[in-house]
């Protein structure tokens, strides 16, 4: 029987974020990326969502290394949590490792970190990984050619084919073409923009728009962007220097990323162009540019606090121009709209995608994907880094190019894809899914807790307190009802009085039949819930609190 190579995605399929891909040959495993995604609206209180790594922990002895394609949160953000349970070497380019070190230091994690360069080959057991440069919205992005005894898998990472990148380094077409000539068994391709016609615009196009905006602005300029979009930040500095403005940086993650990128040489500007936030008061408004976090409307970000008037150093004033140099991540549209509204109310001129081309994607559109497929000519393809609609669009595109539908695999997180030299198919599944990070808790918030939080947010809570003497089978004190988030107490006294009477009757009756706490609590909860729904069509969370009378 032929050797088999297994691909097990633990994240990044049917979603944008949480990227994590497992490649297994016999008793050896190499993992590509370990990212997070941000919580959806209904995940109240949750900070991050990371992949479930049960499969890796069950096969811990087989895991040889984790390779990183680039330094975005959705590719490296889960590592502080993963490495605590799976202490294996991590490979990445210089900037990627630099950004990762910040995160690991915050978690007091010492890890084995190994720098690689585009063009370098790394041998790990039966795997030979060749790193090749790709264009993306952050420098030092790479794809990986994974050579195994079964065949070569091309893992693109996030990419686009930018012909005029800000740093002058185009995607490594030579390596891609060479791999195609040598033979590619399978390709995992970024499918984020598989539904978009044409080509993704060059990052330099944003610089031209910046020049126009900077040239016309009379007051301060505030540019909100992802903290990891180093190319965009570089263009802000370049344009600021051109118009004799000085740049201040706001937001903890933005400050740290700028420091690391500057120290490592990926962000360059004259020393005189950078000022601390404390120096802004000494500068004229038309000489100031502020680069801030908050392009996604994050509640605690620099820009959101400015919009709310709660930032300790910067308030929005009429004459300010605010540029949202990003597009909202799906689910963040309402947050972004709210911040834009607050900024406009404060007198700022707000510019965002749709008004001007202040953002371009870092992902390849359809014509670029066609070019990639033609260069590499893989036997089989697995679209990743996309929702199901993006995976379907990629499959349609491949079929348009002459591929049979069976050559493009629709894969979900946890599926096991088996590659042989002549085939690729889904052969099973493993434990996968999401682990929720809430504060310092990892995985202690699950579906039950989320459902409770959703119920609390929707209908509030009602606490029913009473003291009973179970031996005498009677109520000694109460019941008293405390309501929060259900009704306004002063305007609902009659309803709450009826509810107390309802509970009193139910509790007296229950005491004649039961004396165990569970039965008594249920005897309160069920009739009260029915009564409240009948009267209000709401279902608050009901918490019975029963105390035993002190018989001493």
Yes or no: say if 352 and 340 are a contact pair by the CB < 8 Å rule: yes
> Any catalytic annotation for residue 190?
yes
Alpha-helical regions (H) of 17-152: 54-58, 73-76, 79-85, 94-106
Q: How many Å apart are CA 520 and CA 505, to the nearest integer?
A: 12
Backbone angles phi, psi at 313, to 5 degrees: -120, -25
Given the residues 33, 74, 158, 190, the one annotated as active site: 190
- Hunting for tokens 């996030």 — which residue is that? 158
Sheet holding 246-250: strands in order across? 246-250, 288-292, 221-224, 321-324, 349-352
**DSSP state letters, 183-217:** --SEEEEE-TTTTS-S-PPPHHHHHHHHHHHHHH-
Given the residues 75, 133, 363, 390, the one annotated as active site: 363
Instruction: Name the maximum alpha-carbon separation found in the chain.
Output: 89
Q: How many Å apart are CA 486 and CA 46, to the nearest integer?
A: 23
CA dist 419 to 1, 158, 189, 432, 527, Å? Answer: 13, 23, 16, 20, 58
Sign of the CA dihedral with 466 first, then 456, 17, and 94 last: negative
Q: How many Å apart are CA 96 and CA 90, to the nearest integer?
A: 11
Using CB atoms within 10 A of its CB, is residue 401 exposed (0-12), middle (13-18) or buried (19+)? exposed
DSSP 3-state of 128: strand
Q: Are strands 221-224 and 288-292 parallel, antiparallel or unpaired?
A: parallel
Sheet holding 90-92: strands in order across? 113-115, 90-92, 63-67, 28-32, 20-25, 5-11, 415-420, 423-429
Report the 10 Å Cβ neighbour count for 545: 15
Report the 10 Å Cβ neighbour count for 493: 10
Report the 10 Å Cβ neighbour count for 235: 23
> Any catalytic annotation for residue 422?
no
Task: Using the CB atoms, write b or e for 14-30: b if 16+ within 10 Å.
Answer: bbbbbbbbbbbbeebbb
Q: Are strands 5-11 and 415-420 parallel, antiparallel or unpaired?
A: antiparallel
Q: How many Å apart are CA 26 and CA 391, to the nearest integer?
A: 29
Yes or no: say if 340 and 326 are a contact pair by the CB < 8 Å rule: no
**Residues with catalytic roles:** 190, 363
């Amino acid at each position: 029987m032929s050797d088999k190579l297994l691909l097990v995605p633990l994240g990044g399929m049917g979603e944008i974020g949480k990227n994590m891909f497992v490649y297994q040959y016999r008793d050896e495993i190499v993992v590509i990326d370990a990212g997070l995604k941000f919580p959806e609206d209904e995940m109240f209180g949750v900070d991050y969502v990371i992949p479930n790594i049960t499969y890796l922990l069950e096969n811990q002895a087989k895991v040889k290394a984790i390779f990183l394609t680039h330094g975005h949160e959705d590719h490296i953000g889960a590592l502080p949590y993963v490495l605590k349970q799976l202490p294996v070497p991590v490979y990445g380019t210089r900037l990627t490792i630099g950004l990762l070190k910040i995160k690991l230091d915050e978690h007091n994690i010492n890890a084995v970190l190994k720098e690689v360069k585009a063009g370098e080959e790394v041998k790990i057991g039966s795997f030979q990984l060749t790193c090749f440069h790709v264009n993306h919205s952050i420098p030092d992005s790479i794809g990986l050619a994974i050579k195994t005894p079964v065949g070569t898998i091309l893992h693109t990472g996030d990419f686009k084919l930018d012909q005029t990148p800000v740093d002058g380094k185009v995607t490594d077409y030579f390596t891609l073409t060479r791999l195609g000539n040598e033979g590619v068994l399978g390709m995992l391709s970024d499918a984020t923009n598989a539904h978009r016609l044409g080509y993704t615009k060059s990052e330099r196009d944003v610089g031209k728009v910046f020049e126009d905006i900077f040239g016309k602005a009379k007051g301060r300029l505030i540019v909100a962007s992802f903290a990891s979009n180093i190319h965009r930040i570089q263009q802000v500095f370049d344009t600021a220097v051109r118009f004799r403005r000085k740049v201040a940086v706001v937001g903890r993650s933005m400050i740290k990323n700028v420091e690391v990128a500057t120290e490592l040489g990926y962000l360059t500007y004259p020393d005189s162009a950078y000022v601390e936030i404390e120096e802004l008061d000494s500068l004229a408004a038309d000489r100031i540019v502020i680069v801030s976090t908050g392009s996604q409307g994050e509640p605690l970000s620099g820009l959101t606090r400015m919009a709310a008037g709660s930032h300790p150093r910067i308030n929005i004033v009429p004459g300010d121009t605010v540029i949202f140099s990003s597009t909202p991540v799906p689910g963040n549209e309402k947050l972004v709209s709210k911040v834009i509204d607050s900024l406009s109310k404060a007198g700022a001129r707000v510019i965002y995608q749709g008004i001007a081309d202040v953002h371009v994607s870092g992902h390849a559109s359809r014509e670029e994907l066609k070019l990639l497929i033609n260069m590499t000519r893989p036997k089989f393809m697995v679209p990743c880094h996309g929702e199901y609609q993006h995976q379907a669009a990629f499959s349609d595109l491949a079929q348009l190019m002459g591929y049979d539908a069976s050559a493009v695999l629709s894969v979900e997180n946890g599926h096991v894809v088996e590659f042989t030299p002549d085939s690729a198919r889904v052969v099973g599944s493993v434990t996968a899914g999401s682990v929720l990070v809430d504060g310092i808790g990892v995985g202690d918030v699950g579906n039950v807790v989320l459902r409770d939080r959703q119920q609390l947010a929707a209908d509030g809570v009602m606490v029913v307190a009473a003291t009973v003497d179970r031996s005498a089978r009677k109520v000694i004190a109460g019941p008293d009802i405390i309501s929060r988030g259900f009704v306004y107490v002063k305007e609902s006294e009659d309803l709450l009085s009826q509810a107390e009477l309802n509970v009193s009757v139910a509790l007296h009756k229950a005491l004649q039949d039961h004396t165990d706490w569970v039965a008594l609590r249920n005897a309160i909860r069920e009739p009260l819930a029915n009564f409240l729904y009948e009267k209000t069509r709401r279902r608050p969370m009901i918490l019975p609190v029963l105390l035993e009378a002190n018989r001493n």
